[in-house]
Amino acid sequence: MSKATLLIVEDDGILALLLQNILRRQGYAVAGPLPSGEEAIAFLANRSVDLILMDIELAGAINGITAAAIIHETMDIPIIFLTGFSRDQLQKEAKDGKPYGYLGKPVVEQQLFSTVESALHRHSLKF
């Protein structure tokens, strides 16, 4: 059985490449990385993925929370938020994006794997 395809939406190019390398080593197919919510939405109009790793603070006109809300309007894709911030207000706003998890930056490799696996499993149980 092949592993899932994950989309990375992260405007920090170095972190995006690090995530991409870590996930590929674990056998995941990786789409992206894309630096903005607008690009992620456009990408998903023609392609499908199994899970999205989405930075909350992105380049472009819309942040990751808004992009996630737009994606959830038409697609059933689990999203894990990445954030370098622990502001309470930001996390309250992030709930509107219906995340399957949160990962703080810097991302710890083992937490990345367990959060991704948990989100994919939880999403597979939906009916």
pLDDT above 80 for 98: no
The burial class, CB within 10 Å (0-12 / 13-18 / 19+), for 124 is exposed
In tens, the pLDDT along 84-95 reads: 765 555 666 666
Domain ranges of the chain: 5-124
Q: CA separation (Å) from 32 to 85, 89, 121?
A: 23, 29, 22
pLDDT of residue 105: 86
Q: What tens digit of pLDDT does each residue of 19-58 get?
A: 999 999 999 999 989 999 999 999 999 999 999 999 998 9
Identify the residue with better confidence: 68 or 94.
68
What is the arithmetic mean of pLDDT over 7-12? 96
pTM of the model: 0.90
| φ, ψ (nearest 5 deg) of residue 108 | -90, 125
The CATH class of the 5-124 domain is alpha beta
42-46, 60-64, 96-100: the lowest-pLDDT one = 96-100
Rounded Cα gap, residues 61 and 80, in angstroms: 20
